[in-house]
């Protein structure tokens, strides 16, 4: 799973197709525009035994880190998305709704992708 999530091109499968467009990827990064007009650029940083880490790229509206952690649990696994961003209160207010919806959908799609 973590090797799969380490390839930026594979992130398209967990992104909500109805909320994103203009997805592009190469070996190190991907970018897409989410509903609301924000362009997000994710650059692969690292993979550990428990997760993968991405950081914001040049097209992102503010600096952030995204961690996707997975933990085996019997014949299943549990996971979480953790987003840490640095932005002004004004940008945070505008981005909160679209980003919350995006990450909620990504979590649901992760479950569906690895079921």
pLDDT tens-digit series, residues 38-91: 789 999 999 999 999 999 998 888 899 999 988 877 777 778 889 998 888 888
| Domain ranges for the chain | 2-113
pLDDT per residue as tens digits for the range 15-31: 999 989 999 999 999 99
If one looks up domain 2-113 in CATH, what number appears?
A: 3.30.530
DSSP helix/strand/coil, 47? strand
pLDDT number for residue 80: 86
CA distance 115 to 104: 17
Higher-confidence position of 65 and 93? 65
> Within a 10 A sphere around the Cβ of 14, how many other Cβ atoms?
20
């Amino acid at each position: 799973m973590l090797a799969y999530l380490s390839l930026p091109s594979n992130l398209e499968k967990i992104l909500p197709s109805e909320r994103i467009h203009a997805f592009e990827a190469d070996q190190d990064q991907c970018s897409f525009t989410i509903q609301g007009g924000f362009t997000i650029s994710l650059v692969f940083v690292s993979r550990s035994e428990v997760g993968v880490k991405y950081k914001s790229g040049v097209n992102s509206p503010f600096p952030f880190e995204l961690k996707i952690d997975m933990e085996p649990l019997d014949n299943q696994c549990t996971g979480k998305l953790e987003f840490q961003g640095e932005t002004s209160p004004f940008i945070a207010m505008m981005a909160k709704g679209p980003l919350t919806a995006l990450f909620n959908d990504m979590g649901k799609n992760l479950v569906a992708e690895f079921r």
